[in-house]
Structures are given as structure tokens and as C-alpha cells.
Amino acid sequence: MKYESLQKGKLIKRYKRFLTDISLEDGSVILAHCANSGSMKSCLEEGAEVYFSPAKDPKRRTRFTWEMIRIGEGWVGINTGIPNQVAFEWIRMGVIGGFEQYDVFRREVNWEDSRFDIWLANEQEQCFVEVKNVTLKVDDVAMFPDAVTTRGRKHLETLIRVKEQGMRAVMLYFVQRMDVDSFAPAAEIDPGYAAALGKAMAAGVEVLVVQAKVTPEEITFARMLPVL
């Protein structure tokens, strides 16, 4: 995925979860939307270089969207809307392997009382894929979640029911940073979610972890990460 029209600044602060103040090179300050409801632990650093994009909707209150932040030597993608879009394209194009047998691809499909990010199908099988953005880093391990998430636990429970009804169920974690080499659930932050993930894996829900390289120019596939 290519970025277009990104602008550079420095992070002043993030507040009220969805608002961000960013300073520009000329000394002015803009208000940007933070498309991330988590704590953003390990990817918030005041004064760090950031990139943001102009909003497509001219009526939106915040005219810009915060996209990424420089942490250490690399970039961390913080926009949680990006992984769903990119993962769909990478699955459809075969960049993420294991889905070549499907010929129907859709986004945002309802099933029971949940909405899944991706739905795939062929004449023999249906497959539901839930995508989660991962930015939390502990040592060299990417972790999810970075805050307690009852919604995330509900998605895992629904994936179990999908599997029980004879369909394929996939939990896909999308890691938007390059300074990690494996993935694990953040049990210390949300033990309930970690337990639910273990239960889902035991029930046959597949867990895939994609690592993406984020730069101000583009997001590219890096590799699949192992699950600890």
C-alpha cells in the first residue's frame, strides 16, 4: 500500500484517546484524529517525529489523521483502520499464503451478532478472518492487546462458534513495527483475553501473525511471525 500526501510533524500529546496535537516545522500546531482506541503503550513518545494524512471528508471535525510515529530507528503504524484494508488486499493477492483456494472475497461481513473484517468463500467452504492491529512491544515480542478489550474477547468466542459450525476461523494479528521477532498475548494486561485466545487455538481457530514494514512512503509485507 502506498501512502499519498503525508505531512510531517512532531507529537506534542495525545489526549481523550482520539485527539492528537502535532507541531509543524513552521511552529504551528494542528489537531489530528488518533485512529487508535488502545493505550498505545510502547509507541507514544512526546517530541517524536510523526506523519499524518489529510482527512478525505471535508466536514470532519479533525482535518487530519495521525498515521505513524518514529520509535527508535523505525516507524510504528498506529492507525487501526489500515490493517483491515491491507490484510484484505494481501490475502486477495496471495501475499499472505493459505487462502489461495478462495474465489470470493468480501470485507465487513456480519455473522450472528458480530461483524468480521474479512469473509472468504468457495463452493466447498467459508472462512471468517478477524484482523487486529498490533503496536505493543515488550522486549523483542509483539503483544496484543495493549488495554483490556471485552470486544476482542467476544470476537474470539465468535470465531470458536464459527469453527464449531464447520467453517474456517482465522485470527490475524497485523504487526505494524519491525523491532520485534515473535508474538504473544499480553496476559499481564488482559489475562481474560489471553485465556480466550488459548481456548480459541485449542478449538481449532487458526492464529496468523503478519509483520509489516511501515515507512512514510508505503506499507510492505515483511514476514510471518511465530506465536509464543
**Domain termination residue (choose one: 52, 76, 100):** 76
> Is residue 113 domain-shared with residue 63, that is, in the same domain?
no
> Is residue 119 domain-shared with residue 164, that is, in the same domain?
yes
**Would residue 2 count as lying in a domain?**
no
Give pLDDT, residue 191: 97
**Would residue 52 count as lying in a domain?**
yes
Mean pLDDT of the chain: 95
**Domain termination residue (choose one: 61, 76, 91):** 76
**Would residue 140 count as lying in a domain?**
yes
**Would residue 1 count as lying in a domain?**
no
**Domain termination residue (choose one: 34, 55, 76):** 76
Give pLDDT, residue 187: 96
SS3 83: helix
Give pLDDT, residue 60: 79
Give pLDDT, residue 41: 93
DSSP character at residue 225: P
pLDDT tens digit sequence for 128-145: 999 999 999 999 999 999
Give pLDDT, residue 52: 97
> Is residue 89 domain-shared with residue 54, that is, in the same domain?
no
- Going by pLDDT thresholds of 50, 70 and 90, the confidence category of residue 35 is very high
Question: Is 90 exceeded by the pLDDT of residue 61?
Answer: no
> Is residue 49 domain-shared with residue 98, that is, in the same domain?
no
The string of DSSP codes covering 12-54 is EEEETTTEEEEE-TTS-EEEEEE---S--TTS--TT-EEEEEE
What is the total count of domains within the chain? 2
Label residue 95 exposed, middle or buried (CB < 10 Å: 0-12, 13-18, 19+).
middle
Query: What is d(CA 54, CA 146) in angstroms, rounded to the nearest whole number?
Result: 27
Give pLDDT, residue 94: 95
> Is residue 57 domain-shared with residue 148, that is, in the same domain?
no
Question: Is 80 exceeded by the pLDDT of residue 67?
Answer: yes
Give yes or no for a contact between 73 and 29, defined as CB atoms under 8 angstroms apart. Answer: no
- Going by pLDDT thresholds of 50, 70 and 90, the confidence category of residue 112 is confident
> Is residue 29 domain-shared with residue 114, that is, in the same domain?
no
CATH of the domain at 60: 2.40.50.580
CATH of the domain at 213: 3.40.1350.60
> Is residue 144 domain-shared with residue 89, that is, in the same domain?
yes
Q: What would the grid cell of residue 188 be?
A: 499481564
pLDDT tens digit sequence for 172-207: 999 999 999 999 999 999 999 999 999 999 999 999
Q: Residue 182 half-sphere exposure, CB side, CA atoms within 13 Å?
A: 10
Question: Is 90 exceeded by the pLDDT of residue 57?
Answer: no
Give pLDDT, residue 59: 77
> Is residue 110 domain-shared with residue 191, that is, in the same domain?
yes
Give yes or no for a contact between 64 and 34, defined as CB atoms under 8 angstroms apart. Answer: no
Give pLDDT, residue 53: 94
> Is residue 145 domain-shared with residue 169, that is, in the same domain?
yes
Structural domain that includes position 206: 81-224
Give pLDDT, residue 24: 97
